[in-house]
């Protein structure tokens, strides 16, 4: 039973990687790529698979699909790896509360993120997240 689950998880990961590779090669705007990466995913703290992600895993998967770039695993490390910008553009990452949360900025004050088990993975206003915005970062 455990081996079957492991095989299924490996197959799901491979499908996600293939989809992300396809997105990189076909381009696309930040919002459509973010929504595509978010599709079918649920929020799980520490999750990083084709079906379950936390905020930093979602940001990793997005950046790989959107720009073909690999990011560190945690939101704080991702924030440290980026360059802060004062004029955010779609595709930049937005960080909150000392680097404890990250979302993908898609423009017009909106982002796509993996917030928590009840809010899930999806689009919401940047102002929806409680606390402070640390800034927008480009990669």
130 is catalytic: no
Q: Measured between alpha carbons, how far is residue 22 from residues 16, 18, 64, 93, 106 in Å? A: 10, 6, 11, 22, 20
Looking at residue 82, what DSSP letter applies? S
Looking at residue 114, what DSSP letter applies? E
> In this structure, are strands 110-114 and 121-125 parallel, antiparallel, or unpaired?
antiparallel
Residue 84, SS3 per DSSP:
strand
Q: DSSP for 47-61? A: -BSSSEE-HHHHHHH
Catalytic residue among 55, 92, 130, 134: 55
Catalytic residue among 54, 92, 113, 134: 113
92 is catalytic: no
Catalytic residue among 54, 92, 101, 134: 101
55 is catalytic: yes
* Residues labelled as active-site residues: 55, 101, 113
């Amino acid at each position: 039973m455990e081996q079957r689950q492991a095989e299924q998880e490996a197959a799901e990961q491979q499908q996600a990687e293939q989809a992300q590779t396809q997105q990189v090669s076909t381009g696309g705007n930040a919002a459509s790529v973010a929504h595509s990466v978010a599709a079918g995913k649920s929020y799980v703290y520490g999750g990083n698979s084709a079906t379950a992600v936390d905020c930093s895993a979602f940001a990793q998967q997005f950046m790989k699909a959107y720009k073909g770039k690999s990011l560190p695993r945690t939101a704080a490390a991702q924030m440290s790896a980026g360059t802060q910008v004062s004029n955010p553009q779609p595709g930049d990452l937005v960080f909150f509360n000392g680097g404890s949360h990250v979302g993908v900025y898609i423009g017009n004050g909106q982002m796509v993120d993996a917030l928590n088990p009840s809010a899930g993975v999806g689009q919401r206003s940047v102002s929806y997240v409680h606390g402070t915005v640390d800034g927008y970062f480009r990669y």
